[in-house]
Amino acid sequence: METAGDYTMELDNNVTSFLVNDTGGQMPNLTNLTSDAYCNPWLGELGAWYGGVHGYSSLVVCLFGCVMNLLNLVVLTRREMHNPTNAILTGLAFADLLNDLEYMPFALFMKVLARPGYPPKTYPWALFVLAHSNFSQVCHTISIWLTVTLAVWRYMMVAMPMQNKTLCTMERAKLAIIIAYVCSLLVCIPVYLTFEVKWVNGTEGGVKYYVHYSELAKAHDQLLVNANFWVYSVVIKLIPCLVLTVVSFRLINSLMEAKRRKAQLKGGGRGAAKGGEDGGGDRTTRMLLAVLLLFLMTEFPQGILGLLSLLLGDAFFRSCYLPLGDLMDIVALSNSAINFILYTAMSLKFRQVFMATFHLNKLCPQPNTQTTAVAVVTPTRSAHTTVVTTTNGNIQHSAAV
């Protein structure tokens, strides 16, 4: 059977041409691995088996992701959610939505409907595969660097509470989003230059078109091809993952330190007020940590496999990387689709705004927080603090002695 992988095959049998991104398509003959393969042949069998169902599973995940990211955009752009962190999350949801929307026609035509002779080896179809490769890589790179921006942003807010009002402004957040989008377009330039559409005379007559290494990519002992692998595995994958790892640990330490400070304040008789002020911020930080850790679980393996392919050569690439291509695709697509679930599960404010926006309060009644007052009595003298939660989710404090 001819698959999308046929569009990315090298025309001689010595080298495999590969669109270096997360959506290059299943390559053929995964089970016919060379004798010097690094990975067990069962990995090729697994890749070939999953390749047969990848089109259907990716369509389902992309449809789900489109709905979830549209909901993210609707909720995060509400006036009540207007803050710099949510602006970055909005930029992330938009990039994920674009990626899901673009992936669906690729999965449909190149996977689900693929059969001998279809899609035809025409120039428009080959150009579609190339455009899909470049576009999806740019969208995914935007998501990666916006996730890094989000992590650094949250760390600045937690670690530098006195400076964050001047450093973490809405204007700076918008600038960071623009930089992430523009720089992602620029950093993928080696990808654009490495591949092009070429033609070859078919065995049964006529001309067939393929996505092939460009002449520029093959010049100087394939210098651009190697540079492309370095950009993909190191700049796009590993460096962001390393930054996220460091920042995530710093965020965890900051959370633990904040918890210790609140415990000390509680011992001094001021824990109720502080607890109300910091609780929302702690929940937001925990939610973002969940997003970051899920992202690391998705991206780190891809970056490591890409780097090993560069260091160990074609045998590792064929026997280890290619069989996992579709599996890495579906994991990445799933990651971009479930952020809405994380936001809803871990953010009270997001949940409240979502239910109010879609008028779900009647179906799932919430406690009437407008008149709810809870008295928290501390062990110091006769002081008490009353915490009043308003309907917009803000915390108000009034103290009496």
Whether residues 344 and 379 fall in one domain = no
Whether residues 161 and 214 fall in one domain = yes
How far apart are alpha carbons 133 and 141 in whole angstroms? Answer: 12
Strands 207-213 and 195-201: antiparallel
pTM metric for this prediction: 0.79
Which CATH number fits the domain that encloses residue 284? Answer: 1.20.1070.10
State the burial class of residue 171 (Cβ atoms within 10 Å of its Cβ: 0-12, 13-18, 19+).
Answer: exposed
Host domain of residue 299 = 4-366
Whether residues 391 and 248 fall in one domain = no
pLDDT over 70 at 19, yes or no: no
The answer to whether 385 touches 397, Cβ cutoff 8 Å, is: yes
Whether residues 278 and 382 fall in one domain = no
Whether residues 253 and 396 fall in one domain = no
How far apart are alpha carbons 110 and 114 in whole angstroms? Answer: 5
Q: Rounded to the nearest 10 degrees, how much is the dihedral formed by the CA atoms of 124, 126, 128, 129?
A: 170
Instruction: For residue range 329-338, list pLDDT tens digits in order.
Output: 999 999 988 9
The answer to whether 3 touches 24, Cβ cutoff 8 Å, is: no
Supply the pLDDT for residue 384. Answer: 42
Cis before 190 (ω within 30): no
Whether residues 308 and 396 fall in one domain = no
From residue 376, alpha-carbon distances to 379, 391, 395 in Å are 10, 20, 14
If you average pLDDT over every residue of the chain, what do you get?
80
Give the percent of the chain with pLDDT over 70.
77
Whether residues 372 and 352 fall in one domain = no
Q: Which of residues 169 and 162 earns the better pLDDT score? A: 169
Number of domains forming the structure of the chain: 2
- The DSSP code sequence of 120-137 is ---HHHHHHHHHHHHHHH
How far apart are alpha carbons 22 and 335 in whole angstroms? Answer: 13
Instruction: For residue range 75-104, list pLDDT tens digits in order.
Output: 999 999 999 999 999 999 999 999 999 999
Whether residues 371 and 312 fall in one domain = no
Number of Cβ within 10 Å of residue 116's Cβ equals 6
Supply the pLDDT for residue 366. Answer: 59
How far apart are alpha carbons 146 and 168 in whole angstroms? Answer: 15
Q: Which residue bears the tokens 């609140």?
A: 262
Whether residues 47 and 162 fall in one domain = yes
Whether residues 87 and 155 fall in one domain = yes
pLDDT band at 262 (very low <50, low <70, confident <90, very high): confident
Average pLDDT over residues 362-383: 48
Whether residues 224 and 86 fall in one domain = yes
Whether residues 252 and 378 fall in one domain = no
